[in-house]
Amino acid sequence: MTAWLFLVGAILSEVTATLALRGALDQPALYGAVVVGYGLSFASLALVLRRGMPLGVAYGIWAACGVVLTAILSALLFGEAFTLMKASGIVLIAAGVAVVELGSHRARGATLERRTEGA
C-alpha cells in the first residue's frame, strides 16, 4: 500500500513540475517549482521501486497518468486544445496500462507456481 502512495506522490509532483514548466514561460520564478517537482517525482519513484513494485508497472502507471493528467490540466489551465483525438489517446493509454498491470500479475503468479512446484 505504501508503494502506491509514493507512486501517487511521484505522479502528482511530476505533473506539477511539467505544468510549472509551461507556466515558467510567462513567470520565470516557476523554474524553482520545476526543479523541486521533478526531484520529488524521481525520489518518490525510487521509493516505489524499493518497496518492490516492478519497474515496468511503476513506470507505466507513472508515465501514463502523467500524460493523461497533464493533457487534461493543460487544457483547463492554459486553454490548450482537447480534441477527440486526444481523448481517444487517453483511452488507449489507460487500456495499455491495464494490460501491463494484468500481465504483471500473471507473471508473478506463474513465478510463484514454479517456486511452489520446485519446493
What is the average per-residue pLDDT within 7-31? 97
What is the average per-residue pLDDT within 8-24? 98
pLDDT in tens, 88-118: 999 998 888 888 878 877 766 665 556 556 5
pLDDT in tens, 56-83: 889 989 999 999 999 999 999 999 999 9
Q: Are 14 and 39 in contact (CB under 8 A)?
A: no
Residue ranges of the domains in the chain?
2-118
Whether the full predicted model's pTM is greater than 0.85, yes or no, is: no
Distance CA 5, CA 14 (A): 14
Distance CA 112, CA 103 (A): 14
Work out the mean pLDDT of the chain and round it to a whole number: 90
Distance CA 55, CA 45 (A): 9
Q: Are 48 and 6 in contact (CB under 8 A)?
A: yes
Residue 1, helix vs strand vs coil: coil
Q: Are 33 and 17 in contact (CB under 8 A)?
A: yes
Reported as type and span, the H/E element at residue 24 is none
Cβ neighbourhood burial of 64 (10 Å; 0-12, 13-18, 19+): buried
Q: Taking 90 as the threshold, does the pLDDT of residue 24 lie above it?
A: yes
